[in-house]
Amino acid sequence: MKAFKAPLDDILFSLNHVAGAGDVATWDADLGAEIGQYFASFAEGEIAPLDASGDRQGCRLEDGRVAMPDGFGALYQSYAEQGWPGLTAPEAYGGQGLGALMLAVTSELFSGANHSLQMVTGLVPGAIRTLMRFGTDDQKTRHIPPLASGETLATMCLTEPGAGSDLSRLRCRAVQGDDGWRINGEKIFISGGDQDMSAHILHLVLARTSDNGVKGLSLFLCPCTGADGRRNGVSVTRIEEKMGLHASPTCQLAFDSAEAELIGTEGRGLAAMFTMMNHARADVALQGVAHAARAYDIAASYAAERVQGRGADGGSAVLAAHADVDRMLREIDALAMGGRAMAHLACVTMEAGENPDLVEFLTPVAKVYCTEAGTRAAQLGMQVLGGYGYLQEYRLEQTYRDARITAIYEGANGIHAKMLVTRLLASPAAEAFETFVQGEAQSQQDDSITTSLKLWQGARDTVRAQPDPSPMAHDFMTLTSEILLQCLFARMMRVADAHPSPERIKRTAGQALQRGRPMMRAAAELITAAA
């Protein structure tokens, strides 16, 4: 198995030169590179080595508690002692106060090194954001410092056996009594619902406080320990047996009169929960990118060394010299590079805070494209390696298994595509995206982007005219992703010399542009045909 190599140069190139992180006041490129290098060394030396063994061993349910794979507890303690949990937490509560762009660097590296462990630790920044936005001063004081120190890990408890994406069907109920709020019910698919790494767990639970549909949902803080110091009424009834992410305990939880406290306003739980979910969706996009980058590193390294067949001169040739293998390698690289630039653009726009409408549009597009890019890249990587790609030894089969969930959780990709053609196209978010593409065409003086924009506008008008545009959702999402990629790859071509390997950037971006334009036309024709 090829050891994990952190793609830090690609990440910093994307942030600084493609996504425009320099325009964000809180971003310091030199500091970002320094911290990124520290985390890259940590990821390569300590986090990644436990990925394969954690996958093989998995998690265990022992006497009602989750036991993590061997070595994960010590690794988490090292992670906490180095201060990584509090990277973006406010300094007033014990954190380092760095912005979301710094988290974009470390999050991708963490996911590429060990997605399972990143899943268990990755909800802390979103929980802190939720507390900062909706929590009382007392709640912030009590809950944020232990999250920032690593003493506490967070979960997001939303899904129930009868309620996945349809939140109106949630039945887990919170009732207020003389001794405060109590929660009763069941939640499923809870990442890190229990583990033996952190001293405490803080569950953020969406529960029903009235029967008024989604307006009857409220958000609660439910600590693993009650006011009397004993374990709260939250128990693990099972760990799901999954296709991948074996070292991430996906738990079914039972709440039995569990003590809880309301965060935010009663009946406004969905708005509070979406603060955490929006962070999670950006994180999931980078998980997809991390898997695509890992697939490229493994496949490109193997193809550069594996001698197979003969070249044009009649002599022995490595795999990378064959046209079809080269095509696949360029596509894998483009999936990682394009997806990363897309996710970074969304993060930069979000952090800048000046164009929330564009953020609203970019977030689902990035989530869909990047997560599908992860599985597509892993699939292509396996094909490059041939029979060896199908073996556990080369790790790509684990990459595929781990990446596959990203297109499902945090909103299945089909739901995001449907939201794009229904709610977003009828909102200022679509106008913000159109303005962005127009600006790209003008700033880059690129007639092909102008032509592509006209194609997108025509398809948009066709979709808007339908009484039910849902059947067009997938193709319109594809079209939208491709025009965004065209803008970003054109940027890469302009700034390629800022990368340590400019020829690789130019070649990959150039091929992506060449192949992307016909794909746009095909998606537009499918929309016209469906109409």
pLDDT tens figures, 344-391: 999 999 999 999 999 999 999 999 999 999 999 999 999 999 999 999
What mean pLDDT value characterizes the chain?
A: 95
The reported pLDDT for the residue numbered 167 is 79
pLDDT (tens digit, 9 = 90+) per residue, 144-200? 999 999 999 999 999 999 887 787 889 999 999 999 999 999 999 999 999 999 999
The reported pLDDT for the residue numbered 214 is 86
The reported pLDDT for the residue numbered 119 is 96
Give the residue among 346, 318, 396, 443 at the shortest CA–CA distance from 15. 346
pLDDT (tens digit, 9 = 90+) per residue, 242-300? 999 999 999 999 999 999 999 999 999 988 887 777 778 889 999 999 999 999 999 99
DSSP-assigned letter for residue 113: H
The reported pLDDT for the residue numbered 22 is 95
Q: How many helices (H) and strands (E) does the chain have?
A: 16, 11
User: What average pLDDT does the segment 3-24 reach?
Assistant: 97
| Per-residue exposure over 92-128, b if at least 16 CB sit within 10 Å of its own CB, e if not | ebbbbebbbbbbbbbbbbbbbbbbbbbbbbbbbbbbb
pLDDT (tens digit, 9 = 90+) per residue, 452-483? 999 999 999 999 999 999 999 999 999 999 99
Tokens of 167: 């939140």
- Could you give the residue numbers annotated as active site? 410
User: What average pLDDT does the segment 321-341 reach?
Assistant: 97
User: What average pLDDT does the segment 508-522 reach?
Assistant: 94
User: What average pLDDT does the segment 229-233 reach?
Assistant: 91
The 3-state secondary structure of 252-278 reads EEEEEEEEEEEECCCCCHHHHHHHHHH
pLDDT (tens digit, 9 = 90+) per residue, 358-371? 999 999 999 999 99
Q: Is the dihedral of CA 361, 364, 367, 369 positive or negative?
A: negative
Q: Which neighbouring-strand residues pair with 217?
A: 208
The answer to pTM > 0.85 is: yes
Checking if the pLDDT of 34 tops 80, the result is: yes
pLDDT-derived band at 446, boundaries 50, 70, 90: confident
The reported pLDDT for the residue numbered 272 is 86
Please give the Cα distance from 452 to 521 (Å, whole number): 8
